[in-house]
Structure 1
Amino acid sequence: MAIKRETRVLIAGAVIITLLICLLGLRQESALGVANIHAAAKKIWAPITNATLRPPKHIVPHIPQPKERLAYVTWLSSTVSGPDRDDFDDGYFIATRILVYQLLHAPKTRTNKSIDVVVVVTPDVSESRRERLRKDGAIVRPIDFLYADNDWLRPMNGRWRDIMSKLRVWELTEYSRILMLDGDMILQRPLDGIFDDPGAKIVKTLHNVTHLDDEGMLPSQYLLASMGEIPGPDHKYPPDWDDFYQDGYGRFCAGFFLLSPSKEIFNHYKTVLNIEGRFDSILMEQNLLNYAHRWSGPMPWREIASTWNIRSVNDNDFDQGVASMHEKWWEYPVSGSVRLHDYFMSVRWQMEGYYQAIDDDSTCCPTGPLN
């Protein structure tokens, strides 16, 4: 009996020792687990505390914004391009096709953001030209002419008599922001980044400056952004107000500017248009816009980087990487540069070759499986 009791005591002791060992092991594993958790936590930039209910100051909270619809828009009228000229020999019509090609298809300059390319056309542009632009990939938007009610406008050039219809771009309210370009532009790199330029933001109309009552209501917000106009090729890169027209300080070129479509601002422009002598009509829509968006007025235009576009371009501008050049492809630039003229011509023939290949492929090749 004593032996049995002794055996039971030994067994019980062994069980107790085993339990103690197990408990000790579990505690060590638990300690290791906690250590691992703390080690992992050190990889997280902040502990879970009340302080992390708000993002740290250096992180900008994401505020959902409505999806923007952007567009590149150019204007075409037969008073500029010439209704009786052959499509293959019309400088302005070919220039419009070059611009569409460079914005949509040319590998070095095309949009990377699927931005629409729109050509607004006046009633006198033939259906054959409209169809050609559609085949080229452009969205063709017919617009009506726009004239002053009392016929007081006196443009410097007779070709500009219909150019006030460019203001109808503000009626394209399906777009939030637009880059408006004259057709005679040659690109060297993509323009998509212009919509991120600090000057490209929609801003509030000022109410602490004088506004003439006869000019109608102003919109609550607007966008008009551009750069000063350069008188000639003798300038530094990038150009600044020392290079722009000295007698036109604070004036921009209406051949290249950003806008935000708005029926309210379009109606304001129409009201100003019908006030005889309110602006100098010699440069038509450019002078109207410079008056409406004068720096001393309630809707001052804003500056964007002058590296986006240069008129009267020179070789140094080209070498430094100006994004686009306001020059006629069929003429030598004002600088007289043969190299620039050769570049313009090369882009023209690249455009012709690209579309010719597409046209040939769509007309000469069989459709469906070969037998």
Structure 2
Amino acid sequence: MPPNPKTIALCIFLFLSSALITLTLKSSPHPRPWLPSSNHQPSYSLPNTPKVAFATFLAANANPDRAAIDAASAALDDADDGYYLGTRVLAYQLLHSRSASPNTTAQIPFLVLCTRDVSRRKRDRLKRDGATIVLVEKLQADWVHAAVERWVDVLAKLRLFQLTEYHKICFVDADTLVTKPIDGVFYDEATLTQPTLPNPEQTKPDEAPLPRTYMFATHGDYWTYEHPYPPVTDLNYLNCGFFVFTPSTTLFDYYMSLLSIPGRFDPGFPEQNLLNYAHRREGNMPWKPLWYGWNVNWPTERDWRGGARSFHAKYWDGDPSHDPVLKGIWERQRSEMEGFYRGRDEGGWS
């Protein structure tokens, strides 16, 4: 009996359908969790996620009225060391505060660059607070003399540019009040990688080579409380109390070459003026302006009510020029911080 043509056609159809399905599954770019793999791992991989971090800097107590030894400072509960206190409040704001640290930010590490003369007691306390301690060596040059004593070690901030395991770092000075999440700064368009410009007139033969690309984004310095909000953005002089950058050993070496050339920049504000020279607007690596609301220097209540998210001022001291509303918010953040850690320490949870 000859085979039924309908049966042959059905077999051919089923064979071709099976082959087509198999080919489609093999070539599909989408994950197929229902298909087992030989090593029981997903048959696809997620793209690499850029590694980002917040960071600040802490040197030994530079308060002119500081206790002579660390033990005496401990007896005062470190109230004499404003920058250490500010660092603890900042750690709380970025890592734990309900108002300033959403779940997304809590996954972003907070680095504290410490010179080696910061006591182990303070470093250990910051570790318990959740910070990641990065010990660094000081940077100095014979011709660089800071205008204020407490700035003598600030050049060590430049060690941040050696932390090349991070794609982007947002540096925040310890004297900063954060009232809303600021993790969105890593997506600010000013933080896109830029090509270094080739202008030969801005290339100095006595300076180290520039990197092929760079990223350095920040704000201008307003110099006064009498600024509008939104503030103007076409400023030339940058403030380095808040900036975002991509670490680079080539860029760090370039900075070090500037330190080796006496008079290349005004040393009164050591690291700030070095960065202003390196990233001058007319140079080959001009700084890019961030959205004005991420951070305000010389801040007022007007900036806060306008929607700004962080404010650069030493609210721990008695400066009468500080905005009383912002100072009050910072003091409440300090109280929250102390209560939070006291409860955690006494409760034995982490």
Q: Residue type matched to 2:135 in 1?
A: P
RMSD: 1.8
Q: Out of 207, 219, 224, which is 1:227 matched to? A: 219
- Deviations 1:214-261 (Å, cap 9, x if unpaired)? 11111111111001111121121111158xxxxxx4111011101101
**Greater C-alpha Rg:** 1
Give the secondary-structure state (helix, strand or coil) at the position aligned to 2:240.
coil
When residues 267 and 204 of structure 1 are mapped into structure 2, their CA distance, relative to the original with a 3 A threshold, is same
CA contact (8 A) 1:73 1:178 kept: yes
Q: Residue type matched to 2:154 in 1?
A: I
When residues 69 and 147 of structure 1 are mapped into structure 2, their CA distance, relative to the original with a 3 A threshold, is same
Mapped partners of 1:325, 1:159: distance in 2 = 20
Does residue 88 of the first structure (1) align with residue 78 of the second (2)?
Answer: yes
Mapped partners of 1:216, 1:155: distance in 2 = 24
**In the alignment, which residue of structure 1 is the partner of 2:129?**
136
CA contact (8 A) 1:314 1:335 kept: no
Q: Percent identity?
A: 37
- Deviations 1:184-214 (Å, cap 9, x if unpaired)? 0000100111111111111111113421011
When residues 189 and 206 of structure 1 are mapped into structure 2, their CA distance, relative to the original with a 3 A threshold, is same
**In the alignment, which residue of structure 2 is the partner of 1:160?**
151
**In the alignment, which residue of structure 2 is the partner of 1:181?**
172
Q: Out of 244, 250, 263, which is 1:258 matched to? A: 244
CA contact (8 A) 2:233 2:292 kept: no
**In the alignment, which residue of structure 1 is the partner of 2:111?**
118
When residues 160 and 79 of structure 1 are mapped into structure 2, their CA distance, relative to the original with a 3 A threshold, is farther
Give the secondary-structure state (helix, strand or coil) at the position aligned to 2:171.
strand
Mapped partners of 1:118, 1:214: distance in 2 = 33
CA contact (8 A) 1:71 1:118 kept: yes
When residues 336 and 288 of structure 1 are mapped into structure 2, their CA distance, relative to the original with a 3 A threshold, is closer
**Where is the helix percentage greater, Structure 1 or Structure 2?**
1
How far off is 1:65 after superposition? 5.8
Gaps of 5+ in 1: 1-63, 243-248, 364-371
**In the alignment, which residue of structure 1 is the partner of 2:205?**
213
Counting only pairs closer than 5 Å after superposition, residues 280-359 of structure 1 correspond to structure 2 as 280-331=266-317, 335-359=321-345
Mapped partners of 2:320, 2:223: distance in 1 = 10
CA contact (8 A) 1:313 1:334 kept: no
CA contact (8 A) 1:181 1:256 kept: yes
When residues 334 and 67 of structure 1 are mapped into structure 2, their CA distance, relative to the original with a 3 A threshold, is farther
When residues 171 and 198 of structure 1 are mapped into structure 2, their CA distance, relative to the original with a 3 A threshold, is same
TM-score, length-normalised on structure 1? 0.75
Mapped partners of 2:283, 2:48: distance in 1 = 30
Mapped partners of 2:314, 2:334: distance in 1 = 11
Mapped partners of 1:79, 1:360: distance in 2 = 28
- Deviations 1:7-58 (Å, cap 9, x if unpaired)? xxxxxxxxxxxxxxxxxxxxxxxxxxxxxxxxxxxxxxxxxxxxxxxxxxxx
Counting only pairs closer than 5 Å after superposition, residues 35-50 of structure 1 correspond to structure 2 as none
Mapped partners of 1:181, 1:333: distance in 2 = 21
**In the alignment, which residue of structure 2 is the partner of 1:127?**
120
Gaps of 5+ in 2: 1-45
Give the secondary-structure state (helix, strand or coil) at the position aligned to 2:55.
strand
How far off is 1:287 after superposition? 0.2
- Deviations 1:61-107 (Å, cap 9, x if unpaired)? xxx96420000000000043656433431211110000000000001
CA contact (8 A) 2:299 2:323 kept: no
> How many pairs are equivalent?
292
